[in-house]
Amino acid sequence: MGRTFNPDEHIANVLESAERAMYDDAGVRLRDITGVAGASARITGGLPIGVDRIIMNPGAGFPLHVHEGAHLLYVLNGNGGLHIDGQDYVLRTGDSIYVPAEYPHGVQGPLDDQPLEFLAFGAPHHPIDSHTRMTLIRQQEGAEAVLIP
């Protein structure tokens, strides 16, 4: 069979583990955003899958970016914004969001003074502090910037 259960990788408490810095694809630390590594593994075919908890403090935001794989977000606490497909959406506790692979999107941090916390499930999964976790969409000269409320 080749696959075994490894509790060191397959059980992780995303509420109690240490927060780590997050970075963009150029290695620049994301301001006021941290993450907590959750469980991860390789599924059939070797594809890495995993879940992490993301904490965004007031004033934080993920700029427009893409991921190589699809992912699901689940808002644990707080209110924030999502920019996808040219539209802005308000996110609130309990919302779940599907983002297709390579689909440009951005996430605005808290719309109030409380942190926005969400779970990010991804396949393929990249470590929380990896520079390959996302690729920023860099604006071309003269291009209109995307704003999130």
pLDDT band at 87 (very low <50, low <70, confident <90, very high): very high
pTM of the model: 0.88
CA dihedral (12, 17, 21, 22) positive or negative: positive
pLDDT band at 144 (very low <50, low <70, confident <90, very high): very low
User: Rounded mean pLDDT of 23-38?
Assistant: 96
Q: What is the 3-state secondary structure (H, E, C) of 17-59?
A: CCCEEEECCCCCEEEEEEEEEEEEEECHHHCEEEEEEEEECCC
Model confidence at 131: pLDDT above 80? yes
Model confidence at 142: pLDDT above 50? no
Cβ proximity of 134 and 24 under 8 Å: yes
For each of the domains in the chain, give its residue range(s) and CATH number, in order of start: 7-12+19-136 (2.60.120.10)
